[in-house]
C-alpha cells in the first residue's frame, strides 16, 4: 500500500480537493449544500482556518485554506468536516453509495472518496493559479458558461472585492480577457 506524505507547514496555505464516493451528485440539492456549510462552520469554530477561495460542484469541491500560525493540521480539519457532514447527511435521509467489506471494516461510509488531494501553496504565482483554477472549475466541468454564472463559488466575493471583473473568463468577452486561467 502506498505511503502518502503530506507537506505540512505551520500556518501554511493549502489547496484541497474532496470528491464524493462514486462521484455521486450529493451537492446538487440545497439541503446538502447547507449541511456542508454547517459542517465547515462547526469545524472552524473548534479548529480555526480561513477559507480563501472555494467552489462547490455537485460531486466535489475545491478549497484554498489558510491555517493559523503554529498549526499545520489540515487533515484533521478536513476529516472532521467529512465526518460531520456524513452524520448529518445520513441522519437527514441522504443515501450512500455501495460500500465494500473493506470500507465497512474501516468505518468508511459511501459518501466520500477515502482520500483527498492537497497541495501546499508555495508563492504568489502558485496562489493565483490555484484561485483561478477554483473559480474556473465550474466552467471546465460545463456546469456554467462563465464563473459569474455559477452561484456556489467564492468568485462572487472576489468580484465584490474588486479582484475580478464580473466578466472574468466569460467566453463572450474572450478577446478582452487574455489567456485561460491557471492550468488544466
pLDDT score recorded for residue 97 = 73
pLDDT score recorded for residue 180 = 46
Strands of the chain (E only): list them. 13-19, 50-56, 60-66, 117-120
pTM for the whole thing?
0.84
Residue-by-residue pLDDT tens, the chain, 184 positions: 455 555 666 789 999 999 999 999 999 999 999 999 999 999 999 999 999 999 999 999 999 999 999 998 999 999 999 999 999 999 999 888 776 666 555 566 778 998 889 999 999 999 999 999 999 999 999 999 999 999 999 999 999 999 988 888 877 765 444 444 444 4
pLDDT score recorded for residue 176 = 44
Q: How many CA atoms lie within 13 A of 56 on its CB side?
A: 18
The stretches of 47-178 forming alpha helices (DSSP H) are: 74-91, 101-105, 124-140, 155-160, 174-177
pLDDT score recorded for residue 137 = 96
pLDDT score recorded for residue 53 = 98
Amino acid at each position: 500500500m502506498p505511503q502518502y506524505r503530506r507537506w505540512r507547514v505551520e500556518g501554511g496555505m493549502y489547496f484541497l480537493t474532496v470528491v464524493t464516493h462514486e462521484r455521486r451528485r450529493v451537492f446538487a440539492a440545497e439541503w446538502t449544500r447547507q449541511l456542508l456549510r454547517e459542517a465547515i462552520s462547526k469545524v472552524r469554530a473548534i479548529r480555526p482556518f480561513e477559507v480563501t477561495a472555494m467552489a462547490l460542484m455537485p460531486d466535489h469541491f475545491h478549497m484554498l485554506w489558510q491555517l493559523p500560525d503554529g498549526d499545520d493540521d489540515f487533515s484533521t480539519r478536513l476529516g472532521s468536516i467529512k465526518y460531520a457532514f456524513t452524520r448529518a447527511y445520513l441522519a437527514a435521509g441522504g443515501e450512500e453509495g455501495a460500500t465494500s467489506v473493506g470500507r465497512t471494516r474501516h468505518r468508511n461510509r459511501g459518501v466520500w472518496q477515502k482520500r483527498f488531494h492537497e497541495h501546499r501553496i508555495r508563492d504568489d504565482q502558485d496562489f493565483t493559479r490555484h484561485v483561478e483554477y477554483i473559480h474556473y472549475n465550474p466552467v471546465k466541468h460545463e456546469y456554467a458558461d462563465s464563473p459569474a454564472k455559477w452561484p456556489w463559488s467564492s468568485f462572487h466575493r472576489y468580484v465584490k472585492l474588486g479582484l475580478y471583473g464580473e466578466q472574468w473568463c466569460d467566453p463572450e468577452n474572450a478577446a478582452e480577457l487574455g489567456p485561460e486561467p491557471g492550468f488544466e
